[in-house]
Amino acid sequence: MRHHLREIFTRYSMIVGLIPLVILFELVGRSGYTIAIPRLAEVVDGLETAAQRTDLVALIGTSLQSLFIGYILGVVVGTIVGAAIGLNRTAEEIFGVYVNMLIGAPIAAFVPLIIALFGLGQASIIITVFAFTGIVVTVNSMTGVRSVDSSLLEMAKSLGASRRATLSRIVLPSALPFWLAGLKMGMNRAFAGLVLGEILVAIVGIGGLIIFAGSSFRMGELWALIGIVVLMSLMFASVIGGLQRRFTSWSISTERS
C-alpha cells in the first residue's frame, strides 16, 4: 500500500510540488509585499474576467492547435531526418556535428525573423513550434539509432538476419527509449516555442493575452493565464512520461541492474 502511494506521488510529484508554492504565493499575496504577487482570490477573479472579456476557450483552442500542428510536424520531420542521419554512417559523419550544435543554439533569436517573413499570425507560431520541436526530436532520433548496442548487431549479423529484420527487431526497439525521450523534450520545447512566439506576436492565443494582461498590470489575470499554461505543460509532460514508462520499462530495468 505504501509503495503504491509512493509511486503515485513520484508520478505526479511535479503537480503535487506546486501545492507548497501555491500556499507560499497566497501568503506573499496577503502580505501585499509586491504588486507582482496578488492574492489567490484575485487570480480567480482574473480568470473570470479574462473568460468574460474574450473567448478564452477559443483562444486556448487556437494555442493548442498551433502547438499540436507544430509539434506533430516537428516530430515527424525530426524523426525522419534524425533516423536517416543516424542510420547512414557518412551522413552522420557530415551532419552529426551540426545537429549537435543546433541544440544549444538560441533558436529564439530567429523568431523575429520568422515573424517578419510569415507575418503576425498563427503561421509564425506554428513554424516556431515546429523549429523548436524538430531540432530536439532530430537529435534524439539520431542518437537513438546510433547507440544501438553493437553486440546486438553482431549477434544479428552472425545469425544471418536481413537488413529489414535487423532494423525492425533490433534498431527500432533499441532506439525507442531515446525517441520517446525526444518526444518529451520536444513537447517541452514546443511549449517554450508556443509561449515565446505568441508573446512576440502579441495578438494571438494565450501568449497574446498574457502580454496584454502583463502590460496593463492586471496581475490576477496574468497569473491565471500563467497557471493555465503551466498546468497544460505539466499535464502533457506527464502524458508523455506515462508513454515512456509503458514502452520502456525493459530499458529502465536493465539500467538498474
Partner 1 sequence: MPRKSVLSRPLPTADRAAGVGDGNRHRLRWSLGTRTFLLRAIVPVAVLASWQLYSVVLSPSLFTPPPIEVFTALLRLPFEPGFLEAAGGTLLALAYGFGLAVLLGIPAGLIAGRVRLLGAIAGGYVALLLTIPMASLVPVIIVLFGIGLEARVAVVFAFALPLLVGDVMAGASSVPRGLLEMGRSFGCGRWQLGRRVIFPAALPEIFAGLRLSAARAVIGMVVAELIVISSGLGGMVTVFLARYQMDKAYAITFVFLIISGLLVGFVQYLESRFLKWRSSEEGAVHAAM
Q: Which residues bind partner 1 (CB under 8 A)?
A: 13-14, 17-18, 34-36, 86-90, 93-95, 97-98, 103-106, 108-113, 116-117, 145-146, 148, 150, 153-154, 157, 163, 166-167, 171, 188, 191-192, 194-196, 199-200, 207, 210-211, 213-215, 217, 219, 222-223, 226, 229-230, 233-234, 237
* Contact partners, residue 166, CB within 8 Å, separation at least 6: 153, 156, 157
Give, in degrees to the nearest 5, the angle at Cα 231 between 229 and 70.
50
The amino acid at residue 240 is I
Q: Which C-beta is closer to partner 1: that of 75 or that of 115?
A: 115
- For partner 1, the closer CB: 75 or 194: 194
State in angstroms the smallest separation of the CB of 248 from partner 1: 18
Closest approach of partner 1 to the CB of residue 210, in Å: 6
Closest CB to partner 1 among residues 15, 76: 15
Report, in Å, the least distance between residue 55 CB and partner 1.
20
Count of C-beta atoms within a 10 Å radius of residue 49: 17
H/E element, 111: helix 111-118
Nearer to partner 1, 78 or 207 (CB): 207
Q: What residues contact residue 200 under an 8 Å CB cut-off, 6+ apart?
A: 111, 112, 115, 207
Residue whose CB is less far from partner 1, 57 or 109: 109
Nearer to partner 1, 30 or 157 (CB): 157
Q: Minimal distance in Å, beta carbon 60 to partner 1?
A: 14
**In the complex, what is the shortest distance from the CB of residue 54 to partner 1, in angstroms, rounded to a whole number?**
17
Q: Which of 171, 182, 36 is nearest to 99 (CA)?
A: 182
Q: How far apart are the first and last CA of the chain?
A: 25
CB of 140 to partner 1, least distance (A): 15
Instruction: Identify the CA nearest to 141 among candidates 194, 96, 90.
Output: 96
Nearest to 198 by CA among 36, 67, 46: 67
